Structure 1
Amino acid sequence: MDVLVAENGAQGKHALVPLVASSVAAPPSVPSNVVTDPQFAAERKAFMEETTEFVEKYHINELFNDLLKELILNYPDNPIEHLIDYLERPPSLRVVIIGPQACVGSQRSELCDKLADTHGLIHVHAGRLIRAYLKKSDSGLLSHCIQKGELVPDSIAIDAVLPIIRKNGRRGCVINGFPRTRVQAVALQESRIVPDKFIILTVPGRDLQVYFQLLPTTEEHETNAARNSLVDETCHNTPQASRMLGYEQAEKQCSTKARAYERHISGVMQQYASAYHTISTSATLDETLQKIRVLGPVGSGKSTQAKLLADWYGVVHVDAQQLVRELALKDEKLRTVLHESEEKGTLLPQEFVLPPILNRLRQADCSSRGWVLEGFPQTCSQAEWLRNMRLTPTQVIALDIDAVSQAITGDA
């Protein structure tokens, strides 16, 4: 750690990493006779289990990683005061999502919109910012780059996008389509903007050119008229010759785009070699985020099946009734209403059910891993509410009456 800091010229007040490392005292040695004491061993085991549970529950490792990153990036004169100020700010999140525009452009934008909406972030759409930046100059560069199948110069992309990222740095943002080249990636790093997540959407290499050919980008549609006009003039308005030349130009452009993308994305991946994650856009259903709703009458084994599904897919099991009961232990009013509802055999009023369900399904573990929901929704209006909250299940599993009968008779 000391060598790394020295090579980057961090001296004096900037030598924070050695300062932090040297301030951590080595754990005291334990006498050998104490270690062999059964009571001490049991207490130590219990302490370690409690500590591990606490660290995982409150994400202590991630917290210290963020604090160390904050110190290294900012080199404050007073590290302690700076960290206190950092912890008092609202938490922010920076996510970068990139991928071939023609293949996953709309899919990527939709994903960015959902992430921004779920986490209260700003959606920084690089393509829109670059187009707006070029339209101000009215230089025709955008149309030229699209016709040639080239990216805009790095200097323009950087000038158009980086200021917006810096402006929204403290609130948090989802950066869509930037950086697209190694030069842009270096500029992002030199600006001390460190993404919390760097995601690259991928398609099979053999299909890349085909995708570019089949799925033209929005920018291409904007210049189709000018390009077709140019082709017609070149071919002296001969329809057949015009179409042939248009096809040839389109195929050549797609090939150029595919090769350029592969070259540029390679540079970006090298720059973020230890930080990026790849997600295949051709993933099967088992590889995508699961949101499962389990339905069935009492005695159908909903809880058992929900737990098995959660274990199988590695998602979170959310039992709506259990969630409400746990909240009722701390809320006397809810406890009274729940007791009356169970005695009368009626459903709980919506105001006691919807808020805890929404809060639970939007927590980090459910958002990142997916979930299996049991005991909710119980009515059509609740199902509609889930849809309005953008929490529609990807799968609904209903246990029918035959399954119930088999369970009762012991044949299941």
Structure 2
Amino acid sequence: MDATKRPLRIPPQFATYAQKHELFELYRRLIARLLMEKPEDPLTFMLEELKREDDDVPAIVIQGPPASGKTTIGKMVSAKLRTAHITPQILLEDDVSPLAAKGRAIIDKNQSIPMELWVQLIQARLKLFDCIKKGWVMEGFPENREQGLALQQVGISPKHFVILDAPDTVLIERQMGKRVDPQTGDVYHTTFDYPSNSEVEKRLVEPPEGCTEAEMTQRLVLYHRHIDGLRRCYHKFTKVINADQPKADVFSQVITALSSKHRSLAPHIPRIVLLGPTGCGKSVQAALLANKYDVISVSSGQLVKEAIANESKTGEAIKPYVNRDMPVPDNLVLKLIEDRLSQIDCVTRGWVLRGFPRTREQAENLDTAGYEPNRVFYLDVPNDSVYERLTLRMTDPVTGIIYHTLYNPPHSNQIKERCQRHPEDSDDAVQKRLAAYNAYVEELSDYYQTGLHINADQDPHTVFEFVESMLVSQLPTNLDRD
């Protein structure tokens, strides 16, 4: 055969290994770091990056209008996740850093700190050991799109950007009653969050500026002017939280948002296996999945029929078993499945397999061959419903339409008289197939422990909705380190 006409077979281990070890995300992260750092020796730089074990540490920015609770929530999140808490005020209070001393000198002259100095301060802080090993929560910065882009240019980008939002009238009311503990920096409110400790109550003072309604209105106008541009800067991982609710509820929603896993940009190749007794609707669900998600529907029984019809070597080896109504050996069926799943359409678009595996040994052989599924669905149907579905159905030999005595009876007596029942739908044949499935279903469940069970004794489209929801769902990541 001409080499240019031979079917392209791609080893299945490539995609499985890449997805299991998140190679796509690894390459993306390395390229991003290279473009940001621009090292003189890229290979050495990448090797050092691969040795790092801190890629999953939190990197969070909490932003919001004045009096939205950024400081309080930032401290609570930092304490919960055991990360460093960074604010512009904390950066300037560093007595050791010459950059902080330079910033304080600029403030003493009643001048604004240049953006370049803010970026240098943050860059120096994030290089310290606690930020590298435990992560960081930054509150109140960046304040506009220009600052956000400046941070990104030096390689500083959060994994989560949380915005605490509330109506302006609520924020103005909060600011009017705002009080600060000068020793700890904790923020309280005369109405909503008054301290229970009398010593703390005596120390409370009004904020140095921004307490009047006019000042607060001016700060809100400035915030609204810049927040849309800032959101565009971090639009892929922005989460807006309603801050007009109790502090505990706001904190709970923020933690939930931080625990969510961002959808990966890596190409996801569906590898689906449908398991269930005869008559559970595997063919219908496979067809619905193939139609909506453009995956390839693969049936082991259909592959056997095609191999015999094509008179291939494997088909000739299978033919005697089929003629004698004997089970086809696993190695022959697995060879047909391997040949089909290794073709270019299955490798690039994904596949949904039904009819195989039926035993634990077959499932192990499928995984050993490199075709490990990433979704396994059990379509559960009671035996009584299976009997009702199969033994009461009949086929019109003229039109090929399948009817059912209860749910879809023939439209006329003429059609009813010529309808025939397939031998495989006899009571004995159905009972035999059910017994074969029930004999191995427990060991299959033990092997595919992450398999998802679905009640398939309902409308096919309702079943498909459940399959679809479990197919596209994302698993959250756990940030609770307690």
Band the TM-score falls in, shorter-chain normalisation: 0.3 to 0.5
Structure number having the greater helix percentage: 1
Larger Rg: 2
TM-score between both structures, scaled by the size of structure 2: 0.37
